Structure 1
């Protein structure tokens, strides 16, 4: 018997019992959509974990700190450490943290206290994935530029005054590409705003205040740079030298000495891809430093998420098992109702394999059709969850430590796997009834009323 004839006979048989066929297919639809939606919640949780961490920090960045607290003989963070770590496999660039504290001055306004000023090159900013909301990042040709954090703009008051936190001033609005600020590393007394004197009471001349143009503003979501400013490396090094010379004159060389001999507070290691992050981190730890990265937290989150996915997938699989029982029951009922038809087919010479295939095709059609409708229904429900249910589902994800834009994510592989699984379940469910149909006696079947 041709396969096309088998399919047509199976479809006609299912169509004669529309209600029962519909209810059986509905069971498969519910089972397939349940398992898809349950797994999609776990996949969305994974994606939201990753999105949340990537929003805080690049997933390919490893933070390196000195390990002198645990081991006084541990290697220091200096230029030699930068050179050593740069040679590790998988490392793209090592960026030392260069920072100092200084006032920002804008006309008669200034920051109420010294803020963090960091020095970076254009290549280092590109490697770290820096972006600005207004203006642009400075290039190697920009020698006197500055990038400002959003929250930093709220700290400007008239020089010598302090911020009234009960009634804070509005953020200073800078014209990107036009406004010029001054960098002041001087120390001042709180009550008179006069430069501090050294231990003998002698006035120490405040270094010259270099001028920089505001070239860009970091966005409000950039928490790392919200309260700091970034300047080109060349002007930073000059400002650092001025500050060290000034502090030596003000406090004395002995009091200004770095006690732990670490040249840098920490290093940021840019790794070539996410798959290499953990291996690079382990290599840095083995070298005697203390390293951490978002990927290790992401891996821990994934372990917890995988456990939740297994639980949710198990719940959905139960519905599909129930649907498989429904398919088996439907096919068994079909055999009892068509016993005489089966007997006639055997008498006129139909092959046992053709009878078996006919019932298997019916079960397969039920599974495939139910799986297809289940996939489409799942996409519809997923869209509704993402569109209308973020508030309710968002609270659940917040309790699990996640946050993101999607409640449910159905990747193509999941839809395809669910469709294939539903079809196979239908085929398996129809195997026992098909075997039973093959085993019926032709004469007994014909006599059945």
Structure 2
């Protein structure tokens, strides 16, 4: 008996019980759809949390916060040269803090932003992104963060009236104009350890660039990046010497190493450890997050599988009834010499078709539901909570792997459900079947 003959026999039998077969396929589709939709929440939230990190340079960044030499304060140029020689290091970013600084612009002040001095050639290699303007080309030019203006508050206002309850500056006291290309005064201060009077130095600088906004809209950054030349000029005015070596070379407060790719991070961390550097990478934290989400996704798939198992009861019932109703046909096939294996294959083909059809329909519906959830739920949440949902938030994601797992589970369960009735069909007695006594 050829495969074509077997399939024709299956089709004829399913046509006789269209409604029952349809309802069984529907049950399998609902179980498969539930499995995928449930697990897709885990996949979607996982993608939302790590997508920005994986697509950014942050995942290849390694923070170096010290060395084994406890007497060494800061990092020297020799350290920087040594770090650049490590294999697969794409860029080394050295940072000097400007200390306590305030920025004044037309009667408005930004108090104590994170102000640092950097080499902007290294910033290019590290992947700095500008929203507008350009990078500094002269010593008295700076780049500010995208939210720098959100921290420029009017000077002649009492502190208790100036801020809201959550610590932000009230809109009526914020600087309203564009800050790009504006000349601003930087005021740097130092407080000597010997208890002498604090010293202050000021410089006029120009804002020539504004960094691109973070991918996560709810993150606010208040920072300034200046040139090493401006840092040295301010330190000389303040008589600060602890930021330099005895030879006059700069000492860096912080160093960041950027790997050429994420796969190289672990090897670079090992090299740094061997050379006596204390380092940390975000990739280590991402690995822990991945483990937690993988466990959660596996749990959701297991819970979803319960729905498929419930649907398998219907498949078992359908196939058992099919064996009972088709007993005369089975008796005729056995009477003319049909192999029991062939009879078993026919019923397994029918249960497999039901499972495959249900899995495919359920998968298609799951993709539709996932699209509607991602498009509609954020709008509903914004209406309820009156807050803008981050654009990067993805509530549901169905990768090919999840669809393949669901279809495989559905097929395995349905085949197992049909195997018992199929085996029962091979044990049908020919004479009793022909007399319709079964």
Q: TM-score range by the shorter chain?
A: 0.7 to 0.9
Q: Does residue 166 of structure 1 match 2:161?
A: yes
Match of 2:142 among 140, 146, 154: 146
1:241, distance to aligned residue in structure 2 (A): 2.1
CA shift, 1:292, in A, is: 1.9
- RMSD (Å), alpha carbons: 3.8
Unaligned runs of 5+ residues in structure 2 are 163-168, 383-389
1:110-140 Cα offsets, whole Å, 9 max, x none, are: 635454433334443333332233x23427x
Cα distance in 1 between the residues matched to 2:399 and 2:62: 30
Q: CA deviation at 1:104?
A: 3.7
How many residue pairs match? The answer is 415
* Secondary structure class of the residue paired with 2:36: helix
Partner residue, 2:39: 39
1:219 aligned residue: 213
Q: Say which is worse superposed, 8-17 or 333-342, in terms of deviation.
A: 8-17
Match of 1:413 in 2: 401
Give TM-score, length-normalised by structure 2.
Answer: 0.80
Displacement of 1:65 after TM fit?
Answer: 0.4
Gap change, CA 1:12 and 1:138, over 3 Å in 2:
same
> Secondary structure in 1 aligned to 2:416?
helix
Aligned equivalent of 2:228: 237
Shift of 1:331: 1.2
Q: Deviations over 1:316-368 (max 9, x none)?
A: 11222233343233212211111111111222343433322211211111011
Distance 2:308 2:196 in 1: 85
Q: 1:388 to 1:183 in 2, by over 3 A?
A: same
For residues 339 and 18 of structure 1, what CA distance do their matches in structure 2 show? 19
Gaps of 5+ in 1: 189-195, 395-401
Shift of 1:225: 8.0
Which residue of structure 1 aligns with residue 238 of structure 2?
A: 247
SS in structure 1 at match of 2:253: coil
CA distance in 2 between partners of 1:226 and 1:49 (Å): 19
**Counterpart in 1 of 2:253?**
265
Counterpart CA distance in 2 for 1:156 and 1:323 is: 62
Deviations along 1:5-48, one digit per CA (max 9) or x if unpaired, are: 32232122122112321232122112212222232122123212
SS at match of 2:98: strand
Residue 448 of structure 1 deviates from its aligned partner by: 1.9
Q: How far off its partner does 1:371 sit?
A: 0.6
The reply to whether residue 284 of structure 1 matches residue 272 of structure 2 is yes
In 1: Cα distance, 2:185 partner to 2:315 partner: 78
Change (3 A) 1:17 1:100: same
What TM-score, normalized to structure 1? 0.79
